A and B are shown apart, each in its own frame.
Chain A
Amino acid sequence: MSRQTGHSDTTWQRIAIALPYLWLLIFFLAPFAIILKISFADPVIAMPPFTPTFGDDGALQITLDNYAFLFTDKLYAVTYLKSVLMAASATALCLLLGFPIAYGIARAEPETRNILLLLIVLPFWISFLLRVYAWMGLLNNYGVINNLLMWAGVTDQPLAMMYTDFAIYIGLVYSYLPFMILPLYATLERMDLDLVEAAQDLGATSTVAFWNITWPLARPGVIAGCLLVFIPATGEYVIPYLLGGPESLLIGRVLFDEFFTNRDWPLASAVAIVLIFLVVIPIVLLQRNQARATENAA
C-alpha cells in the first residue's frame, strides 16, 4: 500500500488492534471480574446463592474466607498439584509425538501436505464428547483392545485400562495433539532449510544441526503448542470424568463438586481464580524469559 493513505492506515490499524482487546474485554475480563466478585462473597440460600458485594446500606461486604479455606484442606493443594502435573506430562507427550509429525508434514510435498493437514483436522468434525466415548469402547475390559489382546493370546485376563490414569493420559494426548501439531507445523513450514544444509556443510552432525538450528527456530511454535495444550488440560473435566477412576480426582471435578453438590458458588469461584493464577504464572514467566532471550539475541 502506498504511503499516501497513511492516515486511514493507522485508523484501520487501531481498529485491528482494538478488536482482540475488545474480544478479551467481553469474553475474558468481564467474566473474570464476575467470578472474582463472587469469590469475595458469602454463600447464602437465595437466588443467586451468594451475598451481594454492596449491602443494603451501601457498605462493601467482601470476605477472604473462601481463599483462606483453600489452605485448610489438603484436598485443594493435592488436586491442584495433580492436575498441573498431569497436564504438564500430557503436554510433554504431545510435544514428543507432535514434533516429528509436524516436521514430517512440513517437509512433505505441497500436495500431500494439504492432505496430511486435513487428516490432522478431520477428527474435529466429530463431536469431542463422541470421540472420548469411542475411547471407552476401545479401552473397556471387554472392549476392542482387550478382546484383540485376548484373541491373540497375549493375555488371558483383560488388562485394566479403563478408569485409570493411563486412560486419562490417552484421552488428553489424543484430544489435544492437533493443538500441538498445528502451531508447530506453522513455524516449521516457514523455516529456511538452507540453514540446516549450511550447518551440515560446515560439519555439523544432524543432531547438532537439529539442536542448534531447527529447535531454536521452532521455539515459538513449541511454546504456542505447549500453552494450547497445557492450559485447557489443567482444568479438563470431561476426560477424567469419563475415562478416569474414582482415584483420579482432579481440580475440575473438585470445582464441579463445590459448584453443583455443595452449591457454594463463592468457594467454587475462589477455586477457579486460583486455578487461573496457577496457569497464568508459568505463562508470564515464560514470556519474560522469551523477551529476555530476544533482547540478548539483539
Chain B
Amino acid sequence: MPVCQRLFIVMSGLLSLAGCTTDKTADTASSEKIVNVYNWADYIAPDTLDKFEAEYGIKVNYDIYDGSQVVDVKLLAGNSGYDVVVHSSQYSSRLTPIGVYEKLDYSRLDNRHHMDLELRRKTDVYEKTRGYAIPYHWGTTGYAWNEKLVRERLPNHPMDSADVLFDPEVASRLADCGISLLDGPTDIYPMVLAYLGRNPNAVDDESLAAAEAQLMKVRPYIRYFSNQKMQIDLPTQEVCVAMSWSGDYATAERRAREAGVDIKLNYTMPKEGSGLWVDGVYMPADAPHKDNAYLFMNFLMRPDIAADIANEVWYANVNKASWELTNPKIMNNPAIYPPESEWHVLYPVLAVDPKRERFRTRSFARVKSGI
C-alpha cells in the first residue's frame, strides 16, 4: 500500500534523523564495529572494555543486570540485540534446547587452551549448555558471618553447618544481630533439603513440604530475604549472618574497610551441602554482530584479562594461565577455591521441571509472607 510505504519512509527518515538505527540487514549490522554485551553488575574489571576497544577498534555497548530472571525473559522474548551475554548456566540449560543460543565455533576461540581441564571438568555440570558457552566464573552458595558479633553469641559453635541458618535453636540466638537469606527459591530450597539430608534438587510435594516446614521454624529469626542488601548491611553490621554467594563476603569486607569499619567476615560452605553455580558466556542465536562477539569472548579468556577480572570480582575461574597473575589472596582462599577435601559437599543446582517450579515458588511465597 503506497500510503503505508510513504508513511514508512517518513518514519524511518525521522528515526534516522533522531539518530536511531532502523531495521538493517544482517550484512550491514555485522560490519559495524560494535559489540553489545550484557553482564551482571560489578562482574568485570574497570579497564576490560577500554582495553578491548583500544585493541580491536570495536565499540562495546555494555549493559548490566542484577538478576538472572531478567536476562532469561529478555532472551526468551527474542531480538534482545545482545551479542554476548554472561548468564547462569543453570538458567541457560533451559534456554539452549529451545534455540536461544548460537552453537559456538570453538576454532574461533583459541584462548580456550588456557583452561584447566580438571577444574573445567568438575564445574561442567550443566550438560545441556555444552558447546554453547565459554566458562566465566563459578562459585559456591553458603553464608557470610561477622566473626565478632557471632562469637559474642555463640562462642563455641563449630560454624561449619547450615544449622546457623536452618536450626531454630541456633538461629534464635543470632536473630538479634540479624540473619538474612537469599531471595529466591532456587537458592534456598536446595540448601535446606541438603541440610535435611535430602536430594537438593528434589521438587516433589513431600520434599517441598519438608523444606517449607523447616523454613517456617526459623522464619521468625530471619530479618529479610535479599540477594543484594547484605552487601551493604554486613559492613554496617545491620546483619551478622547472611546467606550469600562465595565472593560476596570478600566484597563486603573490602567495602567495610573502605568505609573505615574494621570487621572480620568469614564464609562457610555448609558441610551438609553447598550449591555449585557456574556462569558462562553465551552468544544469542540472533546476535547481530557475531564476528565481534567471537573476538570479545576470546578476549575474555586471555590470561591477563581473566586475571584482571578475577582480581576485581574475587570469584574463581577455570583459566589456569591467569592464576599466576591473580592475587594470591584469592588463589589461596578456601572460600573461593575450595580445597579438594571439601569438593564432595558441592551439589549442582539443576533447572527443575517448569510445572514443579510453580509449586516451589508458591511454597517460598508462603514462607516469606504467610499467605
Interface residues of A (CB under 8 A from B): 43, 45-49, 73-75, 78-79, 140-142, 163, 245-249, 254, 257, 259-264
Contact = CB atoms under 8 A, between A and B. Distances in A.
A163 B183 CA distance: 14
Contacts of B362: 73, 75
B320 interface: no
A226 B99 CA distance: 47
Interface stretch (B119-127, B298-306, B353-361): B353-361
Contact of B358 (A47, A78, A246, A262): A262
A262 B354 contact: yes
Given A47-B78, A140-B238, 13 more contacts: A47-B99, A48-B78, A142-B238, A249-B365, A249-B371, A257-B365, A260-B67, A260-B70, A260-B73, A261-B361, A263-B72, A263-B76, A264-B358
18 contacts: A47-B76, A47-B77, A47-B98, A48-B77, A48-B78, A73-B362, A74-B371, A79-B371, A246-B222, A247-B369, A249-B371, A254-B365, A260-B67, A260-B69, A262-B361, A263-B357, A264-B354, A264-B358
Contact of A259 (B73, B100, B236): B73
Given A47-B76, A261-B184, A261-B361, A246 B371 contact: no
B149 to A, nearest CB: 14
A44 to B, nearest CB: 9
Nearest to B238: A141
A249 B368 contact: yes
Contacts of A257: 361, 365
Interface residues of B, number: 31
A245 B368 CA distance: 9
B358 A46 contact: no
Interface of B: 67, 69-70, 72-73, 76-78, 94, 97-100, 184-185, 222-225, 236, 238, 354, 357-358, 361-362, 365, 368-371
Nearest to A248: B369
A235 to B, nearest CB: 17
A43 B357 CA distance: 13
A254 B73 CA distance: 16
Contacts of A249: 365, 368-369, 371
A75 B98 contact: no
Among B70, B222, B361, the one with the most A-chain Cβ atoms within 10 Å of its Cβ is: B361
Nearest to A46: B98
B371 A261 contact: no
B224 to A, nearest CB: 6
Given A47-B100, A73-B362, A75-B365, A245 B357 contact: no
A145 to B, nearest CB: 15
Contact of B371 (A45, A47, A78): A78
